Amino acid sequence: NAGVTQTPKFRVLKTGQSMTLLCAQDMNHEYMYWYRQDPGMGLRLIHYSVGEGTTAKGEVPDGYNVSRLKKQNFLLGLESAAPSQTSVYFCASSSRDGPYEQYFGPGTRLTVT
């Protein structure tokens, strides 16, 4: 039982390049989330999904897109990377049944130069 996994672990992009971060969970959770963590700012929600085929914007969605084609996978895309998107990205999941305890992946450290 791997829990929540994220690929890649590290990535360096040049400004304007694109990439996709993959999150996978094997706990059969309905809800999945993408966060970014920046020093001194805590975690901020980018996008979330309450089920296969549905996504919604969180607190800081600009510059990102997401897709949830399969229940176990949640993809985060950067179409044109900017230095402001340098951050650590975390994926999390939770069951749709309360109390919605969140389980996190190990994170992806992204640097945009």
Binding site for another protein (CB under 8 A): 4, 31, 33, 35, 40-45, 48, 50, 58, 90, 92, 94, 96, 98-107
Smaller CB separation from another protein, 69 or 98: 98
3-state secondary structure 58-113: CCCCCCEEEECCCCCEEEEEECCCCHHHCEEEEEEEECCCCCCCCEECCCEEEEEC
Residue 92 is which amino acid? A
Tokens 């971060």 sit at which residue?
A: 21
Residue 36, beta-bridge partner list: 44, 89
Cβ 42 to another protein shortest distance, Å: 4
Number of neighbours of residue 55 by Cβ within 10 angstroms: 19
Cβ 98 to another protein shortest distance, Å: 8
Smaller CB separation from another protein, 17 or 107: 107
Cβ 100 to another protein shortest distance, Å: 3
Cβ 110 to another protein shortest distance, Å: 14
